[in-house]
């Protein structure tokens, strides 16, 4: 960070209930959405304490006040549940550190929203699965998250991004991006566009069932990537679910599916060499086992049967979002190279095609643990 940036961060930080001397600040993590910093404070002779400071992405989340109300309510609820179960609520859920005025966010002079969380020490967010057991542990934790929130009053939650996993409306947005072709990139990606259009029926699959009231609406996380879970460095257990910006009413299949899309891939989300990308059945099985266990029997027979569909639809939806963003000049997801979003879209489509080939095997695995 430049000295100028450091001064800025330090000024923002001075508005929070932090104590001690700010020793260092650095950009942190690999999220695509918010700007995350790790700050280290020295408190007298007591040693160093770290905190997370985040600039929220206002373009993606246009109503930050509502969003923070959700996070405060959800984390307070989880805090109590975890304490009741004998867990450590400062480690097993996010904890918001308020501003000096007692607010859960700070608004700076440019009208940007900032927030802070207790830093979870001795835990890691993985970008790829290093051990199958870690993926199983992440599944247990995401399943448990859904289970702990089963009696959270869902009507209290604001919809932070409208139609977030409404794949039908995502497809409409995608088609609009193709029609408008603002970046003049449509002609290069005919095959990828056709891949999306060939699967229109998948885009409507969940929305049709929801309209007919045929699926239970639960409180779900909706962004269950492996790097949104902290794995304890010592116990190797999935310790804390983070990135709660999209926690809203949704389907159990969304949380299952988004984890598979990211974590069961044999390649990274932005891998350029597609020969490295496939959906690993070993990882699919580990996650399926963990997620079903973590949900503690709450999933219905129909939900269980639809888990593979969740994996396919979440992967398809994410691919079309990456491709739409590429067509719109990369305005949503952070990129660090040209064609980054196109590379990401291609890995997702490769995964979808692979899941279609492995469809029966995926169902057999789900059946084994149901
Ligand atoms: P984004 O929405 O941009 O993905 P996240 O909230 O997921 O933002 O944070 C980005 C990264 O910052 C995470 O992947 C994780 O590595 C790190 N991080 C976020 N919150 C914490 C926390 N409370 N303790 C430790 N690390 C954190
Ligand atoms: C974004 O915030 P992050 O990096 O965990 C995105 C998800 C996508 C994901 C793809 C709010 O997640 O929906 O699946 O990137 N989050 C939002 O990697 O759009
Ligand atoms: Mg994240």
**Regarding the domain with residue range 3-121, which homologous superfamily does it belong to in the CATH classification?**
Phosphorylase Kinase; domain 1 (3.30.200.20)
Which is the closest atom of ligand 2 to the Cα of 225?
5
Residues of the chain with CATH 3.30.200.20: 3-121
pLDDT at 154: 87
CATH of domain 132-369: 3.90.1200.10
Task: State how far the Cα of 345 lies from the Cα of 340, in Å rounded to an integer.
Answer: 9
pLDDT along the chain (370 residues), means of 10: 92 97 95 94 96 96 97 97 95 97 97 97 94 97 95 92 97 98 98 98 98 96 96 96 97 98 97 98 98 95 98 98 98 96 98 98 98
Lining residues, ligand 1, CB within 6 Å: 28-34, 36, 52, 94, 117, 119-120, 125, 227-228, 242-243, 245
Residues of the chain with CATH 3.90.1200.10: 132-369
Task: State how far the Cα of 15 lies from the Cα of 205, in Å rounded to an integer.
Answer: 47
The residue whose CA has the least distance to atom 15 of ligand 1 is 29
- Ligand 1 pocket: which of 27, 29, 91 to mutate (most atoms <8 Å of CB)? 29
Q: pTM of the predicted model, to two decimals?
A: 0.95
Which is the closest atom of ligand 2 to the Cα of 34?
2
State in Å, rounded, how far the first CA of the chain is from the last one: 50
CA 129 to mean position of chain CA atoms? 16
Whether the CB of 317 sits within 6 Å of ligand 2: no
């Amino acid at each position: 960070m430049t000295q100028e940036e450091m001064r800025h961060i330090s000024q923002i930080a001075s508005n929070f209930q932090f104590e001690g001397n700010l020793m260092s600040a650095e950009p942190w993590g690999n999220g695509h959405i918010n700007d995350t910093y790790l700050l280290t404070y020295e408190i007298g002779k007591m040693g160093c304490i770290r905190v997370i400071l985040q600039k929220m992405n206002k373009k993606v989340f246009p109503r930050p006040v509502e969003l923070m109300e959700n996070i405060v309510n959800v984390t307070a609820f989880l805090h109590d549940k975890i304490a009741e179960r004998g867990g450590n609520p400062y480690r097993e859920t996010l904890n918001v550190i308020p501003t000096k005025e007692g607010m859960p966010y700070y608004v700076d002079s440019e009208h940007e929203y900032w927030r802070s969380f207790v830093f979870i020490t001795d835990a890691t967010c993985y970008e790829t699965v290093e051990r199958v057991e870690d993926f199983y542990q992440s599944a247990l934790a995401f399943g448990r998250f859904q289970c702990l929130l089963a009696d959270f009053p869902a009507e209290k939650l604001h919809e932070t991004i409208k139609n977030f996993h409404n794949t039908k409306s995502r497809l409409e947005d995608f088609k609009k991006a193709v029609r408008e072709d603002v970046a003049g990139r449509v002609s290069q990606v005919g095959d990828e566009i056709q891949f999306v259009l060939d699967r229109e029926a998948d885009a409507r699959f969940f929305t049709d069932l929801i309209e007919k009231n045929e699926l239970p609406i639960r409180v779900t996380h909706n962004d269950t990537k492996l790097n949104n879970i902290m794995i304890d460095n010592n116990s190797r257990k999935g310790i804390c679910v983070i990135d709660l910006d999209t926690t809203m009413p949704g389907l159990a299949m969304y949380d299952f599916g988004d984890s598979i899309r990211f974590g069961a891939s044999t390649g990274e989300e932005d891998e350029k060499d597609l020969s490295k990308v496939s959906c690993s059945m070993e990882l699919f099985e580990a996650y399926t086992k963990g997620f079903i266990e973590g949900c503690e029997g709450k999933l219905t027979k129909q939900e269980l049967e639809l888990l593979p569909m969740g994996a396919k639809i979440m992967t398809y939806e994410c691919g079309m979002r990456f491709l739409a963003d590429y067509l719109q000049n990369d305005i949503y997801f952070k990129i660090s190279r040209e064609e980054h979003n196109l590379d990401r879209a291609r890995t997702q489509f490769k995964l979808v095609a692979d899941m279609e080939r492995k469809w029966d095997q995926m169902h057999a695995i789900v059946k084994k643990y149901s």
